[in-house]
Amino acid sequence: MRQTGPVYDVVTGEAVALDLRIAQLPSRLVAGVLDLVAMLVTLYVFLLVVGAAGTAGFDQALAVAISTVLIIATFLGYPVIFETLTRGRTPGKMAMGLRVVRDDGGPITFRHALVRGLVGLGLERPGLFLLGLGPALGTVVSMFSATGKRIGDMAAGTIVLQERVSSRPGWAPVMPAPLAGWATTLDITGLDDSLALSVRQFLGRASQFDAAARETLGRGLAEEVRACTTPPPPPGTPGWAYLTAVLAERRRREEARVAAAAGRPPPPTPVWPPPWWGPPPYGAYPPYGSPPPHPAAR
């Protein structure tokens, strides 16, 4: 896992990179205030219901016990129930576009939500064990955490992400022109979705790896693809071109299938470089992840 500013990149063993854009403290504070208001309103409604049920005659100790149970049920049940049912979101987080996920980017479960809720109840929100100082403690811990984690996140192994962000343009495979004819003969029935996704994620992020890691990961993925597809690429084909051609052909066939089912002609297949460039020899192409060469003057 490597950190780049407010974004945490989780790179799996298959070179699948996940962008985890960390929620910033101001948005978390606003979401926390919104949830606090919702919890106080809920608690007030509970107290009204209990009062209307005829508890006025209870002695003071019993009234305190009932109030304590209601407070715990509200401040613990509210976040745990919402985060479990909505996979990491409370109404406040929904309003601010935030979501709680596991450290590996996966959705949280009841266990994660319960740990966060228990720690929050005792140490942060409202911090019953710290005499009301819990929110201040949670804010300070979050400020000094590289990933903006509060104590509950550290205990549960979770992180809060910002979902409403402008995403960078997605990478799409474009057929290398010299491989267009060869790609039509490919048998890609053995290429499953998981491996195809790994290749796509790798090619889309290849320029962000250092050279050694890029070549090692790219070579490994190329070998996996060769093992489940036929025929092999033409001699001298760079790994980046081979992987790109396989994905581009897979996408072309899927688009053609969808178009045929809808009674439309298949869309044109883009190739790189464009025909008017005149394809250079493969030796002139850069390695994995490098940008394509600039077009020649026309």
In this prediction, residue 143 carries a pLDDT of 85
pLDDT above 90 (res 80): yes
Spatial separation of the C-alpha atoms in residues 197 and 2, rounded to whole Å: 21
Domain boundary at 135, 162, 189, which?
162
The per-residue pLDDT for range 160-181, each reduced to its tens digit, is 988 765 455 567 788 988 898 9
Whether 142 and 245 share a structural domain: no
pLDDT mean over 75-91 = 92
- 146 and 17 assigned to the same domain: yes
pLDDT at 227: 94
Domain boundary among 129, 162, 195: 162
Q: Within a domain: residue 77? A: yes
Q: Judge if 42 and 140 occupy the same domain.
A: yes
Residue 192 within a domain? yes
Number of domains in the chain: 2
Nearest to 157 by CA among 108, 90, 99, 86: 108
pLDDT for position 263: 81
Contacts of 274 (CB under 8 A, 6+ apart): 177, 295
In this prediction the pTM is 0.52
pLDDT computed for residue 226 by the predictor: 93
With pLDDT > 70 as the criterion, what percentage of the chain qualifies?
79
* Residues 142 and 256 reside in one and the same domain: no
* Same-domain pairing of 10 and 145: yes
On whether residue 169 sits in a domain, the answer given is no
What pLDDT, on a 0 to 100 scale, did the predictor assign at position 58?
Answer: 66
Is residue 14 scored above 50 in pLDDT?
no
Model confidence at 293: pLDDT above 70: no
**What pLDDT was estimated at residue 11?**
45
Say if residue 125 is in the same domain as residue 206.
no
Residue 152 domain-assigned (yes or no) = yes
In terms of residue numbers, what domain contains 191? 175-284
CA–CA distance, 46 with 50 (Å, rounded to integer): 6
Does the residue 292 lie in any domain?
Answer: no
**What is the identity of the amino acid at 22?**
I
Helix (H, G, I), strand (E, B) or coil at 159: strand
**Do 114 and 208 fall into the same domain?**
no
Q: Is 293 part of a structural domain of the chain? A: no
Q: Are residues 17 and 63 in the same domain?
A: yes
The answer to whether residue 168 is domain-embedded is no
| pLDDT per residue as tens digits for the range 234-256 | 988 888 889 999 999 998 888 88
Residue 184 maps to a domain: yes
Same domain assignment for residues 140 and 15: yes
Same domain? 49 vs 72: yes
116 in the same domain as 92: yes
Q: Please indicate, yes or no, whether residues 115 and 53 belong to a single structural domain of this protein.
A: yes
Of 148, 194, 211, 168, nearest to 22 by C-alpha is 148
CA-to-CA distance for 94 and 76, rounded, in angstroms? Answer: 18
pLDDT at 194: 83
Give the pLDDT of residue 25: 85
- Which amino acid is residue 44, in one-letter code? Y
Last residue of a domain, one of 162, 196, 228: 162
Beta bridge partners of 9: 2, 19
Tokens 């909505």 — which residue?
Answer: 86
pLDDT at 184 over 80: yes
Burial readout 22-40 (b: 16 or more C-beta within 10 A, e: otherwise): bbeeebbbebbebbbebbe
Torsion of CA 161, 166, 167, 169, to 10 degrees: -170
Output the average pLDDT for the chain. Answer: 79
Question: Can you tell me the mean pLDDT for 123-139?
Answer: 76
Residue 296 has pLDDT above 80, yes or no: no
